[in-house]
Amino acid sequence: MELAEYQTIRVAACDLNGQMRGKRVPGGYARKLDDGAVRMPLSALNLDIFGADIDDSPLVFETGDADGMLRPTGRGPVPLPWLDTPQPLVPMSMYHDDGRPFDGDPRHALTDVLDRFAQRGWQVMAATELEFTLVDDSGKSLRPVRNPQTGRRTGAPGILSLTHMDAFDAFLSALYDGCAAMGIPAQTTTSESGLGQFEVTLNHQDALRAADDTWLFKALIRGLARRHGMAATFMAKPFDDDAGNGMHMHFSVLDAEGKNVFDNGGPEGSATLLSAVAGCLQAMPASTLIFAPHANSYTRLVPGAHAPTSVCWAYENRTAALRIPGGAPAARRIEHRVAGGDINPYLMFAAVLGAAITGIDDGLTPPAPIKGNAYDQDLPQLAPDWEAAIDLFETDPFIARAFPKGLIRNLCMTKRQEVRLMADIPESQHWKTYLGTV
């Protein structure tokens, strides 16, 4: 069925918090999307987590809240399997009227970083591992999800348990069907250590496509969970005394001949890999705001709680922030393990890859890889709290080389507004803000 034949379709761009901002439009608009027929205020990509304008935002008060043009990214259209009425989604990016990319659009930030690799004739390949938690949000407090087979609440971890996955088979099978329909390359699913927690791995592919798929996958998970009588969340820490949700990113870089530039034929990796590691380490403290963008994010970043908090790297060591996995040298890659599941995928990819290419450009050398448990060692740390993370992100020279000035300004204004507003909400009620938004 042609896109124009649908009664309505959806168009949406990604805002700074990773939320979809857009419109439902007649199917006939499909013929006009490339021409910028759909317009939306530039400020729509610079809203806080509650969906409100940013106080004193220059996008509102200095420009008169000017419109921008939405144009297709090239990723869509994709079906939305959780809806009763078929309404394909066309992912969009924001542009100024003169055709310039809007620098407050997170996807543009990533394409700018990837262009730096392309200038060397390189292509970044990436994959993500995403953890999420199925929960019951029907009461006054967030509770563990009920087992669909027994009706009883999930009360124990189900690490790698096939029996636990059997209980949620209807949801997980629908998830694979939805991924296939949307063109999202879902690979393995595992039952994780949290109550009702699962991890899904997406396939290694072009980095921009991987970020697109990660953004769409998060929407798919939340939508399908509702159809199955549950809620799903990527909150970094749904329950204080339970495991948090993380997102690991794997990446490698191919040259024009398809050779992995991180491969030197041995387990240690090439000098290019080491420079990329050094760049990621140097940018890591100031990138904390990207890896932990919300108030709830910082309840996950506790030393010893399976979330890396030390700025370090290692070979085959899951306590390190950066891990170089083993395996065949041709598949040598970097695994970035810091981020929570509540991140904006485009900003996460841009921060990590921007740091890596800067390290390569500058020929940086990393410190020696650690050995043993990173939590037991005296190592540099991530930003200690939300406000410190904002301050570091705003002023760090490495960040300024990865992100445009407008995006840095907009994100810091957004997060400072959220700091003020979240301070007035009891921490026990933060889940009501974050459950369906991150």
User: What is d(CA 374, CA 312) in angstroms, rounded to the nearest whole number?
Assistant: 8
The edge-to-edge listing of strands for the beta sheet with 20-26 is: 20-26, 8-14, 89-95, 67-72, 38-41
* Percent of the chain's residues with pLDDT above 70: 98
The reply to whether CATH 3.30.10.20 applies to domain 3-102 is: no
pLDDT beyond 90 at 302: no
Q: What is the CA radius of gyration of the chain?
A: 21
pLDDT beyond 80 at 217: yes
User: What is d(CA 266, CA 365) in angstroms, rounded to the nearest whole number?
Assistant: 18
The pLDDT of residue 402? 95
Domain ranges in the chain?
Answer: 3-102, 114-434
More confident residue, 272 or 65: 272
pLDDT (mean) for 241-265: 96
Retrieve residue 393's tokens: 């992100």
pLDDT beyond 70 at 134: yes
The pLDDT of residue 175? 98
State in Å, rounded, how far the first CA of the chain is from the last one: 32
Residue range 246-257, pLDDT digits in tens:
999 999 999 999
Q: How confident is the model at residue 60 (pLDDT cuts 50, 70, 90)?
A: confident
pLDDT beyond 90 at 144: yes
Q: How confident is the model at residue 61 (pLDDT cuts 50, 70, 90)?
A: low
pLDDT beyond 80 at 299: yes
Residue range 30-39, pLDDT digits in tens:
999 999 999 9
pLDDT beyond 70 at 322: yes
Q: How confident is the model at residue 79 (pLDDT cuts 50, 70, 90)?
A: very high
Residue range 332-363, pLDDT digits in tens:
999 999 999 999 999 999 999 999 999 999 99
User: Mean of the per-residue pLDDT values for the chain?
Assistant: 95
Tell which phi-psi region holds residue 114, choosing left (phi > 0), alpha (psi between -120 and 50) or beta. alpha
User: What is d(CA 191, CA 180) in angstroms, rounded to the nearest whole number?
Assistant: 21
pLDDT beyond 70 at 62: no
The pLDDT of residue 305? 64
pLDDT beyond 90 at 64: no
Furthest-apart CA pair in the chain: how many Å?
62
Identify the CATH assignment for 114-434 out of 3.30.2270.10, 3.40.50.12280, 3.20.20.140, 3.30.590.10. 3.30.590.10
pTM: 0.97
Q: What are the angstrom distances between the C-alpha of 352 and each of 68, 114, 118, 168, 278?
A: 28, 11, 16, 34, 11
* Percent of the chain's residues with pLDDT above 90: 90
Residue type, 175: L
The pLDDT of residue 108? 98
pLDDT (mean) for 231-245: 95
The pLDDT of residue 428? 94
The values of phi and psi at residue 134, to 5°, are -85, 130
List, in order, residues 6 or more apart from 205 with CB less than 8 Å away: 125, 126, 127, 185, 213
Return the SS3 of 239: coil
pLDDT beyond 70 at 304: no
Residue range 372-431, pLDDT digits in tens:
999 889 999 999 999 999 999 999 999 999 999 999 999 999 999 999 999 999 999 999
